Every structure is written in C-alpha cells, then in structure tokens.
Structure 1
C-alpha cells in the first residue's frame, strides 16, 4: 500500500480515451449460429421480436439477429455458453408463436 502514496492525483490529468478501432472485434464463428422459424402464418413484428428475444436471452456477449425471409431468422452468438443456454432453456415464444431453433449445417443456406 505504501507504493501507492507516491502516485499524484489531480483534476488536470487527462482521461483515458478508447478509440472505436482499438476495441476488440467480435469474431463470427459459424458454429455459434442458429436458424429459427416461428410456427405461424402471420407476419412477425421483426424489430419488436429482436428486442424481446435479446431481453429474454440476455446474452453475455451479444447476439446478432438477421431476417432471412418472413418468419425465418439467423441468430449469431459470440460465446458458446450463450448459445448453449438458449438451447437448454427453450422452448421460446414470441407473441404466442413457438420459435423452432436448429444449427445450420456447414456450407448450407438456412431454409
């Protein structure tokens, strides 16, 4: 603790600024990607669904949701524990419609 006494503290010191380009980027791992379809013939309110799903799942490292076609989405996770937790705690619903999730086979387009 004595070694900290020699450190000066003043209001005149500059704050540390982190530039956006120095922040670590999220690595996209195709093994952490799911495809999901809602079992409904009605259109899903995409933006509302994305907001609610992210709130329900509360991922540690984020999830990126993209609409492929009406009621068909990809879910890119950035940590394997987030993906595992989502799969284990399901089934998931939005607006009383069941969301079916599955892995995307290598080199395949979701459908």
Structure 2
C-alpha cells in the first residue's frame, strides 16, 4: 500500500520559500545586532564542522617542518605543484587517472 501523497501547489511552495527567506533575514538581523561577534564566530565554526561531516572531501596537510627538521615531502610537493599551477592558485583538486594514464590529475583553483 502506498500512502496518499499530494504534491503541494506552486503557490504553496513559493509562499513557504518566501517565509523561510524572511525568517532567515530576521534571524540574521537579530544576531548581527544582539549576539556578540565572538559567539557568532563560535556558532559559525560549529555549524561549519557539522556541515563538513557530510562532505566526502579530505584535506591533506603537509607541514613545512617536522619539529626542527625540514620536511622533504613538503618541498617535493611544492616543486611538483609549482610546475602545474600559477602563484594565485590556492586549492587543488586531485582525482584518480583513467586507465592507461600514468599520473593522477590535479586541477588548480584560485
């Protein structure tokens, strides 16, 4: 048995979207005026971490130094990525190669 499900009308969808947008603007205005910036930053950071749990991205961090010693992997990555990017590139996207290709693919983003 299938439950009796009705698709809402366009008028209902638009009205609901407008109400949600108006509420969001009201909450935003209220928080800007009455919530201290430190608390806003804390809430934003926690919300960001919450949303990040649902993403399939991974961040790879290669430190320039390991204690007092230089990290050779950092310099190798810097040299390699310097050959495929320009100075304004801040992020890279990597993917597995197609069969028959030798190297992974990297896509730079500003």
The TM-score bracket by the shorter chain reads: under 0.3
Which structure's residues are more often strand, by fraction? 1
User: Which has the greater radius of gyration?
Assistant: 2
Which protein is richer in helix relative to its size? 2
Give the TM-score, by structure 2 length: 0.26
- Of structures 1 and 2, the one scoring higher in RCO (CA 8 A, sep 6+) is 1
TM-score between the two structures when normalised by the length of structure 1: 0.26
